[in-house]
Structure 1
Amino acid sequence: MAKRERVVRMSVEQPLWRALSGFRVLAMVYAVLLFSFGRDRFERPWVAVVFLVFLAVWTLVTLPKVANAANCTKRFLIADLTIALTGILLTPLADFDARSIDGTTLPSIWTAGSVLAFAIKGGWRWAGFASSLVAAANLIERGHPSRDTIHNVVLVWVSSIAIGYVVQVARASERTLARALEIEAATRERERLARDIHDSVLQVLAMVQRRGTAMGGEAAELGRMAGEQEIALRSLVSSGLVPATRVSEDAAEGAVVRSFGADEDAYGGTYGETDEDPARAAAGPCDLRTLLAPYSTSKVTFAEPGAPVLLAPDAARELAAAVSAALDNVTRHAGADARAWILVEDWADEVTVTVRDDGPGIPEGRLAQAEGEGRLGVALSIRGRLRDLGGTAELISVPGQGTEVELRVPRGRGRDR
């Protein structure tokens, strides 16, 4: 059973919170060093000492608060900004010349950390609010606006709003990416289920319809009901599973689907229904030849290398299922005398399986028409499987000259050495 895909969410904010924590500590140390080296200019150094001691304790104690968005509450942000504003307004009380001589305030660049916390937490609007209060406090502390003060105010205001805007964009991008990954995972899971339905239920319903119609009587009515259910199920499977881009690509490719068709008995019945799946029981690499050998019949020629073709069990099983889907097209669409050939090639960097037939080929545009009708054997059972393996499925059909399907699986994806 295929493993369900998990969507791993990544946080673009967490590195910002870690950077903010480091900035606050370094800014606190810087403010203490500024005071230590310029202590002589303070008329009341004890005011600065009391504030800086409190600032150091607050910074270290509140480090967990700036570790992530959940811990950084509004109450903490308000208290943190209040401390920064208080330090700015206390500067003239410790340094009488602070109003007349341009210089740093008591918290210095630590104030920027408080504003950045607003920006990371709430975006550019919160950053604009906090930086505006800091600007007002700086203007009050100076008493009159100077060129340096205005320069610092504008710098903090613009940079904090810019960072807040970037954070908002990053959050939106993260949500979009997470949603896209969820949609992709859900789509791939639906495609996998659709492949399983196509390879089992739809095949059985189609066979019941044909056999019932041929037998007549009550069996014919059973066949008619099976046909109705097949149409309904195909419509359900095809809804939303085949992107428009894929249909257009297939239409542009022209005739790229084989036109097989013969009775089931000539080709050994419905493919893929063996009594035992060796790949499921294999603990290590699986020999692809053991999965493809049962497909060899009087009308299907199987050519293989002399040495084992080892693939990871899941990859081998999916590749064999894609071959089975290709051969099912033989039983459905080619003439009664059509033959098919399976060729396995074990290259250094990839494993290639080619399925070729001598049927009548397919008219141009038939693939797109088939997908529109909900017949997704090529789109899901063949191409979808190879795409999930990281490989490719190339289909080439020339009207009157048969069809060739080339399945390629990269060695890194498909083999364990």
Structure 2
Amino acid sequence: MGFDVPLWRGIRLYRAASLLYSLVLLVQHHEHLTRPWVAWGVLAAMAAWTVVTSYAYVRPRWRTRRLLTADLAVSFGCLFATGLAVTPFYLTQAPPLSGYWFAGAALSAGVMWGRRGAATVALLYGFADLTLRVLMDAAITGATARGVVLLLLTGLAVGYMARVAERAEERFTQAVSLEARLFEREQLAREIHDSVLQVLALVSRRGAEAGGEAAELGRMAGEQEVRLRSLITDGLPEPQGGPVDLRELLRRQESVTVSVATPATPVLLPAHAAHELSAAVQAALDNVTRHCPPGTRAWVLVEDEGESVTVSVRDDGPGIPAGRLDAACAEGRLGVARSVQGRLRDLGGTAEYVSGPDEGAEVELRLPRAAS
């Protein structure tokens, strides 16, 4: 059940109550009817349509623009049918036959079309009411303007509440999805016994101590340990649509030689921005692997500063000689310029390299949230 269902039920209750009040007004001012059978026919049509909308609007598959258009057409039709059933004096004592009942259609428009839709319908009602009174040569009283203002304010309030309910439902859906992913993650962690990770860690450590071919075996075991831990913590499918947690993307790049440090809370970015930023980090790490000696370590640090997200990639390699990046661009080697700096530039961020001889290299990737 959606969060907007209580709104539809409230509108259904209002339609029934306003229909009853319309009946009371019709009986009270019956002597001012020119064609009573037309008035009772309008009231019967209003009652039948109340029954139809009471069941249709609470069912999402029936809640379409076509239904709302028909709702407005019936409401305006009943409004103008007043001119065939009553005398001009009637409109000085009571609103048109569908006057109060008409608000049900305006409120429905507020839920489906938002505040603008509700305001538009309210103003159209005011124009139709004035047109009816002009055609019937009936007096235009202050009650006419007050009715339009009240309908406008009520429609705006309901339209606003509908948007709030829609956002609340989206957040609730995301929370349920996250809870399901966490439960699946716990099940996965239980299935993969921790002793497997301990054995891989032991093989990695003993292989490094033994050296030779055993060191290579230890290195491979260490990589598998990191990947297995990453699978347990972040290997679940990403939620479709909405923001993406940057931490999950970057942790997949962790290895024996790459350490990733992230905040304790999610670092949410739009999906495209998060994947492009992760790709830029991967390109920076690829440069470390390609241009630094084997075994060079790298560290990835993520900082969420609220208005922006900063990712720093630092290594303990020999560093980048002064002018080397400009020379590489001149030679047509555009790995840094295109894969790292180009990605951040397209996102509206920046990428700055800092390095010195024998001091390693560091690139700071900064992405303002407003730009992403």
* Whole-Å separation in 2 of the counterparts to 1:65 and 1:237: 46
User: Where do residues 222-233 of structure 1 align in structure 2 (5 Å cutoff)?
Assistant: 222-233=217-228
Cα distance in 1 for partners of 2:218, 2:97 equals 89
Are the counterparts in 2 of residues 21 and 67 from structure 1 also a CA contact under 8 Å? no
Aligned to 1:16: 7
Partner SS for 1:72: coil
**1:208 paired to 2:199:** no
Secondary structure of the residue aligned to 1:56 is: helix
- 1:177 equivalent among 133, 150, 172: 172
2:263 counterpart of 1:244 = yes
Q: What are the ranges of 5 or more consecutive residues in structure 1 without an aligned counterpart?
A: 1-9, 248-417
Summarize deviations over 1:145-178 as a string: whole Å, max 9, x none.
Answer: 4321111111101211221122012202211232
TM-superposition CA deviations, 1:60-83 (whole Å, max 9, x none): 244321223431222222222122
Q: Does 1:86 align with 2:81?
A: no
**CA distance 1:33–1:215, shift in 2 (3 Å):** same
Aligned counterpart in structure 1 of residue 97 of structure 2, from 91, 95, 106: 106
Residue of structure 2 equivalent to 1:408: none
Whether contact under 8 Å (2:92, 2:141) holds in the other structure is no
- Which structure 2 segments of 5+ residues have no match? 235-246, 249-260, 267-372
CA contact (8 A) 1:92 1:98 kept: no
Q: How far is the alpha carbon of 1:207 from its aligned partner? A: 2.2
Q: Look up the equivalent residue of 1:148 and give its one-letter code.
A: A
Matched, 1:95 2:86: yes
Instruction: Find the aligned partners of 2:230 and 2:132 in 1 and give their Cα distance.
Output: 73
In structure 2, distance between residues paired with 1:79 and 1:228: 64
TM-score (norm 2): 0.55
- Of 157, 171, 188 in structure 1, the residue corresponding to residue 152 of structure 2 is 157
Q: CA deviation at 1:237?
A: 5.7
* Structure number with larger C-alpha Rg: 1
Contact 1:99 1:142 (C-alpha < 8 Å) held by counterparts? no
CA RMSD in angstroms, aligned pairs only: 3.1
Give the match for residue 123 of structure 1.
114
Give the whole-Å Cα distance in 2 for the aligned partners of 1:97 and 1:226. 92
Q: What TM-score comes out, normalization by structure 1 length?
A: 0.50
Question: Shift in Å at residue 137 of structure 1?
Answer: 0.9
Q: CA deviation at 1:53?
A: 1.8
CA shift for structure 1 position 94: 2.2
Count of aligned positions: 238
CA deviation profile, 1:335-354 (whole Å, cap 9, x unmatched): xxxxxxxxxxxxxxxxxxxx
Deviation at 1:112, TM superposition (A): 0.4
How far apart are the structure 2 equivalents of 1:155 and 1:63?
Answer: 23
Larger relative contact order (CA 8 Å, sep ≥ 6): 1
The residue number in structure 1 matching 2:327 is: none
CA positional deviation for 1:14 = 0.9
What is the distance in 2 between the residues matched to 1:192 and 1:30? Answer: 59
**Cα displacement (A) at 1:119:** 1.3
Change (3 A) 1:85 1:98: farther
Confirm or deny: 8 A CA contact 1:206 1:227 kept in the other structure.
Answer: yes
User: Is residue 88–residue 133 contact of structure 2 (8 Å, CA) maintained in 1?
Assistant: no
Q: CA deviation at 1:210?
A: 4.2
Please say which of residues 193-202 and 111-120 is displaced more in the overlay: 193-202
Paired with 1:214 and 1:20, the residues of 2 have a C-alpha distance of: 75
Residue identity opposite 2:121 in structure 1: A
Query: Greater CA deviation, 118-127 or 216-225?
Result: 216-225
Give aligned-pair identity as a percent: 39
State the distance in 1 between where 2:95 and 2:108 align: 21
Alignment CA distance shift 1:204-1:133 (3 Å): same
Q: Residues 83 and 224 from structure 1, CA distance in 2 versus in 1: closer, same or farther, beyond 3 angstroms?
A: closer
> In the alignment, is residue 44 of structure 1 matched against residue 44 of structure 2?
no
Q: From the superposition, tell whether residues 216 and 92 of structure 1 become closer, same or farther in structure 2 (CA, over 3 Å).
A: closer
Whether contact under 8 Å (1:99, 1:141) holds in the other structure is no
Q: 1:50 to 1:205 in 2, by over 3 A?
A: same
Query: 1:68 pairs with 47, 59, 62, which one?
Result: 59
Q: How many Å apart are 1:37 and its aligned residue?
A: 2.5
Question: 1:47, 1:93 within 8 Å by CA — same for their partners in 2?
Answer: yes
CA contact (8 A) 1:28 1:55 kept: yes
Contact 2:29 2:90 in 1 (8 A): no
Q: Closer, same or farther in 2 for the Cα pair 1:246/1:133, shift >3 Å?
A: closer
Deviations 1:336-384 (A, max 9, x none): xxxxxxxxxxxxxxxxxxxxxxxxxxxxxxxxxxxxxxxxxxxxxxxxx
Structure 1 counterpart of 2:23, one-letter code:
V
Q: Name the CA shift for 1:243/1:112 in 2 (closer, same or farther; >3 Å).
A: farther
Change (3 A) 1:245 1:230: closer
CA–CA distance in structure 2, aligned partners of residues 131 and 19 of structure 1? 19
